[in-house]
Amino acid sequence: MSRIEIIQGDITESTVDAIVNAANCSLLGGGGVDGAIHRAAGPELLAECRTLHGCETGRAKITKGYRLPAKFVIHTPGPVWHGGNTGEEALLASCYRSCLELASENGCRTVDFPSISTGVYHFPLEKASKIAIGTIADYLNTHPEIERVRMVCFDVRTERFYRDALAELG
Ligand code: AR6
């Protein structure tokens, strides 16, 4: 059975070891899924984020989940899409890999991701879904400690692209 699953839903409701936040480099909150996570986690999350002094695009940092059902939040700033010639694809893959590495280091067995960079940052959804699924599958191949990774898609269109990308893996 595949350890990668695609669901539609709101990631702030995920009861898992870690959810991923599609953040920005300040790590001080924003709109989209970032705003929703900060609202649901409460002000203690922002207080911990202030101690982290930001994060580079493609890297990740971990905090507690506070009022969220998830134990941890892994914050990763995805790349802004500038047309594809500024390393966007490698940076997006690096986001997924960095988050999974932090999950492993912190004993997380279940991890939920949102669709990083495909909202305000305008990364094309088809490309992003293939990079996400490919990078997650590669990581899971060599890391049995992670039991399940889900893509939590906020809307049906996003869900369809991730389902197709997963189906292509075979
Ligand atoms: N659960 C799951 N997915 C969600 C939720 C939710 N509650 N809310 C939105 N999404 P975006 P980005 C989806 O724009 O493109 C922020 O201001 C959304 O429909 O949140 O990486 C940050 O601070 C889309 O499919 O993230 C940054 O400045 C996906 O999450 C910037 O936006 C990502 O959309 C990051 O932009």
Cβ(79) – ligand 1 distance below 6 Å: no
pLDDT over 70 (residue 32): yes
31 alpha carbon to ligand 1 midpoint, in Å? 7
Residue 170: its H or E element = none
State the first-to-last Cα distance of the chain, in angstroms, to the nearest integer. 12
Q: Is the beta carbon of 91 within 6 A of some atom in ligand 1? A: no
User: Given pLDDT bands bounded at 50, 70 and 90, which one contains residue 1?
Assistant: low
What is the structure's pLDDT at 111? 99
Residue 102, pLDDT above cutoff 80: yes
Inter-residue contact 14 to 111 (CB < 8 Å): no
pLDDT band per the 50, 70, 90 thresholds, residue 107: very high
For residue range 41-97, what is the model confidence (pLDDT) as tens digits? Answer: 999 999 999 999 999 999 999 999 999 999 999 999 999 999 999 999 999 999 999
Cα gap 70→110, rounded to integer Å: 10
* pLDDT for position 119: 98
Query: What confidence tens digit (pLDDT) does each residue in 127-166 have?
Result: 999 999 999 999 999 999 999 999 999 999 999 999 999 9
CA of 30 to the centre of ligand 1 (A): 9
pTM above the 0.85 mark? yes
Q: Is the CB of 57 under 6 A from ligand 1?
A: no
Mean pLDDT of 100-109: 98
Q: Is 138 a catalytic residue?
A: no
Q: Which amino acid is at 81?
A: W
Confidence of residue 6 (pLDDT cuts 50, 70, 90): very high
CA of 128 to the centre of ligand 1 (A): 13
- Gap between the Cα atoms of 13 and 4, Å rounded: 18
DSSP 16-59: SSEEEEEE-TT-S--SHHHHHHHHHH-HHHHHHHHTT----TT-
- Catalytic member of 34, 112, 155, 164: 34
Average pLDDT of span 105-116: 98
Ligand 1: does its nearest atom lie under 6 Å from the Cβ of 24?
Answer: yes
